[in-house]
Structure 1
Amino acid sequence: MELVNLKDPQEIVSFKQAVKKGLGKNQGLFFPEGFTPLSDIDACLALSLQERSALILKHIIGDELTSTEIENIVNQAFNFPAPVEQVTENIKTLELFHGPTLAFKDFGGRFMAQTLSHISDGAPITILTATSGDTGAAVAHAFHGIDNINVVILFPEGKISPLQEKLFTTLGGNIHTFAIDGDFDACQAMVKTAFDDAEVRDGLHLNSANSINISRLLAQVCYYFEAFSQIDKNDRDKVVLSVPSGNFGNLTAGMIAKALGLPIKRFVAATNANDTVPRYLKTGEWEPNDTVATMSNAMDVSRPNNWPRIEAMIERGIIDGALLNGVAIDEESTMIAMKELANKGYISEPHAAIAYKALEHTLEDGEVGLFLGTAHPAKFRETVENVLGNPIALPEPLVKCSVEKSLDESLPNDYQALKAAMFERLAK
């Protein structure tokens, strides 16, 4: 598998190199020139989640990993379900929150951890990642206790839910967490600066576990196929996919799935008030505003890092840009959507509610709507209870971590402070 740096086409790497590097020169993203469709989609969809995922990933990655190696990685990473639930007569949801940290990022985080552990041959690695919520927990749990791999997680102090925070700040060991006095974009900027700093990049053997890492992205492709395997064959070509979008890795993975032959009719990029992409799709002008804090905090991203991959797919003709709509949902409409879903007997958190409401705005007669449920509603317990006015029960993983002590360290929005703290922590 060859991947090209989207900012420096002269830099071409293998899958293994891309997983180890994370980012390319000039902070460029690695991405293939194209995708070869699968030969028999129906036969693929008839397989189990693990069998199908191994087949898909082997098809994309090629000979760098054997079928047995990929099967072993997948079996360890994807050992939980992703059910499709009916919400209304013509709208379904794909629940991606049945993994150990109750969020869709368990798929990418666990696949990356198993892959990196397999290909690193015991060499020291430092995973440096920023999180607006779920990435931190998924990455922390996926890598916790793996020999020779340290994880450094940056998160915006006071801007993610307390239970989200507890899931990754209480682990300790090889997991190091820093609360940054800034928003997610500030955290992500510090990550990018670190990768441009040779002393840090080479001295600490940096890698990133954000959705910019190709291994995480490819893992996410698999659950779109899992969703379609649960949809009636006669409805598969009618499916409109609504994706709650922050850093846009999820939508990129959905587009890769379509490029591989999954018959997705069209896409809806559902955002909150941080609506850079919906405005861009309407005006053609890329004009990020300052990031606005919302109740759907994992989507509080004004400069989505995966957007260049979507642009590349459209420019290369891999995906027809006309198949993508962008819809921004404000706070009031998000709360209305949560109440509407609750009245239909389905309890949802804000991110999925936004994707549901975006579907309502765009779904046409004869279409089947499918929106992604990216996190368990209990991860946003305070918000959900405040909006719905009813208590919700905590699942066991959240009960366990809620009473643990947080081990994070507060830092200013200053790269040099982060650099010093990283060397102090990781030199021990």
Structure 2
Amino acid sequence: MSAALRYLSTRGRAPAATLGEAIAAGLAPDGGLYVPERLPTLAPADFAPHGTLADTAATLLAPFFAGDPLAAELPAICAEALDFPVPLRALPYLDAQVLELFHGPTAAFKDVGARFLAASLRRLPRADARTLTILVATSGDTGAAVGAAFHRQPGVRVVILYPDGLVSPRQAHQLGCFGDNVQALRVAGRFDDCQRMVKAALNDAGLQHALPLSSANSISLGRLLPQMSYYAHAALGWWREHRAPLDFIVPTGNLGNALACLWVRAMGLPVGEVRLACNANATLPEFFAGRDYAPREAVATLANAMDVGAPSNFERLRWSFGDDDAVRHALQAESVDDATIRRTIAAHARTHGEAFCPHTATAVHVLDRLREQGDARPWTVVATAHPAKFEQVVEPLVGHPLAVPSALAAMLQRSATAAPLAASDEALKHWLRRSAQP
């Protein structure tokens, strides 16, 4: 049996943790993000040739779980969380593929990580019998996925923070439609404020003592690890058929989805080149163009789930490659503004009948540019959300109503509510203390 991995903080000032401890904590005590002390290596031959996504995930993640009490539960966790399709669909007119990650309960790729995290936490022993509060900052899709995954789960409540007025109407409705043990807070600020507030609460030792807290953002290792599974599954299928690695164009904001893809490649599986598609928030494209990493306040865009000016997972990215030059050598990133997103959605609908969400459209635009430059490789665009979540943007551009997935339609039938909150660390801490009182 493989030796148990230890999990370290990206900031190096916290004790090593087991996988279960890292998942339960969300954030390391020194404010860093948990990473494995090393990435395991695997080969295509290690995987069942006709396995499901859940089978691929169980094999891929077994080395990360080795030696942990959760290891025996891993196949059941994967089967429970990854029970919906993630098809790799051909786009013949572009000589490319699209990896559709939006067929889960909330029509976004965040369902994969949120459901896996919920299934893992449900199986972790807890010495503290008090209710665990899961904090999640969302720029649109994460909150609904986490809310759905933990809805009515005993011993857990979820508190979702989202930037008021900066998510789509259907996203906002999803965030507030659960009730029961899921509470939405509409913050008078931006996503980066929500993210900062969550981190401040998790890092407050006094608050943690009074009120057990954890996180379900992509800072959580329990969210990041399962996102590796769909890249591995797609790349392995492509490898078996073509004996070539699969290249990906990944829309990204907080870097969790992109990092999952990079870790699959670093483990030795057949992922080829990875390109990042960003919206007008240019922190990452500027860094990859050679400037110093310079987080800044996010700007609002049509691709709102990527409206991040200070991507948390940049710490993990640096850890993965060791220094900034190595990071820049491994990746390229492109910024796509709102006008280009609109043109891309309209053009592909008009000429080929394809409807893409604004986030996926950033990656489609990068592919269009590559084709214009003569790049003939069989790229795969990562489709992160269903376009019907953004009907106010997409429908006028495609010229017809979009069919709404049944699970999303059911959520939209429920009533929804969210409480207002100031964009300050103390406002959240005060709300948490007050809401925990009997």
**TM-score interval (norm. to shorter):** over 0.9
Please state how far the C-alpha of 1:177 moved relative to its aligned partner.
1.0
User: For residues 42 and 15 of structure 1, what CA distance do their matches in structure 2 show?
Assistant: 22
Q: Are 2:360 and 1:356 equivalent residues in the alignment?
A: no
User: For residues 320 and 196 of structure 1, what CA distance do their matches in structure 2 show?
Assistant: 28
Q: Are 2:110 and 1:105 equivalent residues in the alignment?
A: yes
Name the stretch that deviates more: 401-410 or 41-50.
Answer: 41-50
Amino acid at match of 1:427: Q
- Per-residue CA shift, 1:104-133, capped at 9, x if unaligned? 011000000010110034743110110001
Q: Are 2:310 and 1:300 equivalent residues in the alignment?
A: no
Aligned to 1:417: 427
Aligned to 2:15: 11
User: For residues 199 and 51 of structure 2, what CA distance do their matches in structure 1 show?
Assistant: 39
Alignment of 1:80-159 (within 5 A): 80-87=84-91, 88-121=93-126, 123=129, 124-159=131-166
Aligned to 1:345: 353
Aligned to 1:51: 55
Amino acid at match of 1:409: A
Contact 1:240 1:265 in 2 (8 A): yes
Q: Are 2:377 and 1:367 equivalent residues in the alignment?
A: yes
- Per-residue CA shift, 1:128-179, capped at 9, x if unaligned? 1100011001000101111111111100001101111212211111101100
Aligned to 1:332: 339
Alignment of 1:212-227 (within 5 A): 212-227=219-234
The 1:331/1:45 distance shift into structure 2, 3 A limit, reads: farther
- Percent identity, aligned pairs only? 34
- Per-residue CA shift, 1:245-269, capped at 9, x if unaligned? 0100001100111112222221111
Name the stretch that deviates more: 25-34 or 346-355.
Answer: 25-34
Equivalent in 392, 406, 411 of residue 416 of structure 2: 406
Contact 1:236 1:264 in 2 (8 A): no
Alignment length, in residue pairs?
427
Equivalent in 75, 80, 97 of residue 76 of structure 1: 80
Amino acid at match of 1:74: C
Name the stretch that deviates more: 172-181 or 2-11.
Answer: 2-11
Amino acid at match of 1:329: V
User: For residues 108 and 238 of structure 1, what CA distance do their matches in structure 2 show?
Assistant: 24
Contact 2:57 2:229 in 1 (8 A): yes
SS at match of 1:256: helix
User: For residues 145 and 407 of structure 1, what CA distance do their matches in structure 2 show?
Assistant: 17
Contact 2:14 2:28 in 1 (8 A): no
User: For residues 46 and 340 of structure 2, what CA distance do their matches in structure 1 show?
Assistant: 38
RMSD of aligned C-alpha atoms? 2.0
Contact 1:239 1:367 in 2 (8 A): no
Contact 2:144 2:175 in 1 (8 A): yes
SS at match of 1:179: strand
Name the stretch that deviates more: 189-198 or 295-304.
Answer: 189-198
Please state how far the C-alpha of 1:36 moved relative to its aligned partner.
2.0
Structure 2 residue ranges without an equivalent (≥5)? none
Equivalent in 377, 381, 401 of residue 387 of structure 2: 377
